[in-house]
């Protein structure tokens, strides 16, 4: 690996979370490539439908498109590097690229919670205040909410990532296949202020949006229960997919926190399986849920594939 020695001022971290890589590297490559291709195809298909069909140019569907785009960006932070690693002699990453990967990994993860919170607000206005919906959910409001969902986590995380990057490394081997918060264990010392700020950031970008989503859907459930059958049907059709996605992503976030904390305690195979759950399941779950459960999207999907077969 002469290229490692050609950059003497660059510090590298070795990723040692792969299992039997020399034996199964080509199988790993094929599986990862297929999964990433499926993620891109499934998510972009629904995004394409939302962009090209006038009947889907409503705030609810635009938020779904934003959520699916977020899933694509989240996957792109991880999968291309994985594909390179499984075919490489050494699985290494520079400390700078590791910090960048960790920044986007957690920033986009937090954006998912905020987009789901925005979607909960949209459903609340639509079901509980239908007469005011068009006045409240105007395009400037819609795009301001989406901008906030992407920019706020990035602004919150940037100081912590920069500070962590500046800390001295005492270990250079990461028990994982990409950079997550297990990187903290590689630092010689971790200031208490950084830990406190990390907790503050998590509360702002994950805990508060999660509580808001649960509170909002509880109010929707109570109001729709008191309303007519049509309102209950509308609430069920549009809210259940969002709640399924919320539960799925919350479970995977718990997985990630557990995997990062137990990285050195779990057997290598068990840790790899837990890590793969975080990056594999959810980006495919989102388009499947919205494609099957959202009536208008499902109808447009059937039209698209039926038209393709007829040709």
Q: At residue 126, does pLDDT exceed 80?
A: yes
**CB-CB contact of 167 with 189 (8 Å):** yes
The domain of 223 spans 9-310
CA distance 45 to 217: 28
CATH of the domain at 59: 1.20.1070.10
CA distance 84 to 98: 15
- Tell me if 2 is assigned to some domain: no
Q: What is the mean pLDDT of the chain?
A: 84
- Tell me if 175 is assigned to some domain: yes
What is the percentage of the chain residues whose pLDDT exceeds 90? 31
CA distance 159 to 4: 29
Q: pTM of the predicted model, to two decimals?
A: 0.87
pLDDT tens by residue, 61-79? 999 999 999 999 999 999 9
- Tell me if 89 is assigned to some domain: yes
Q: At residue 198, does pLDDT exceed 70?
A: yes
Number of structural domains (the chain) is: 1
- Tell me if 1 is assigned to some domain: no
CA distance 72 to 61: 17
Q: Is 306 exposed, middle or buried (0-12, 13-18, 19+ CB in 10 A)?
A: exposed
- Tell me if 128 is assigned to some domain: yes
- What is the band of 193 on the pLDDT scale with cuts at 50, 70, 90? confident
Q: At residue 97, does pLDDT exceed 90?
A: yes
């Amino acid at each position: 690996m002469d290229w490692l020695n050609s950059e003497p001022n660059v510090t590298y971290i070795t990723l040692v979370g792969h299992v039997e890589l020399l034996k199964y590297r080509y199988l790993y490559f094929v599986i990862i490539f297929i999964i990433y291709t499926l993620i891109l195809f499934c998510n972009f298909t629904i995004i394409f439908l939302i962009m090209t069909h006038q009947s889907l140019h409503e705030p609810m569907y635009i938020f779904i498109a934003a959520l699916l785009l977020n899933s694509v960006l989240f996957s792109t932070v991880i999968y291309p590097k994985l594909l390179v690693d499984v075919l490489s002699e050494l699985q290494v990453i520079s400390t700078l690229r590791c910090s960048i990967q960790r920044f986007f990994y957690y920033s986009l993860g937090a954006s998912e919670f905020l987009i789901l919170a925005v979607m909960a607000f949209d459903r609340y206005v639509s079901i509980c205040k239908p007469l005011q919906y068009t006045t409240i959910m105007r395009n400037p409001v819609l795009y301001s909410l989406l901008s906030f969902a992407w920019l706020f986590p990035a602004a919150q995380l940037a100081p912590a990532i920069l500070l962590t990057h500046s800390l001295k490394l005492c270990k250079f081997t990461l028990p994982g296949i990409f950079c997550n918060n297990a990187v903290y264990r590689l630092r010689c010392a971790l200031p208490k202020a950084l830990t406190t700020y990390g907790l503050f950031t998590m509360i702002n970008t994950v805990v508060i949006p999660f509580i808001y989503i649960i509170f909002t859907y509880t109010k929707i459930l109570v109001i729709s229960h008191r309303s007519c059958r049509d309102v209950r049907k509308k609430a069920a059709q549009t809210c259940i997919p969002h709640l399924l996605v919320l539960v799925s992503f919350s479970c995977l976030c718990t997985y990630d926190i557990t995997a990062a904390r137990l990285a050195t305690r779990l057997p290598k195979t068990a840790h790899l399986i837990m890590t793969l759950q975080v990056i594999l399941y959810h980006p495919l779950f989102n388009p499947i849920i919205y494609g099957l459960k959202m009536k208008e999207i499902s109808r447009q999907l059937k039209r698209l594939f039926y038209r393709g077969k007829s040709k």
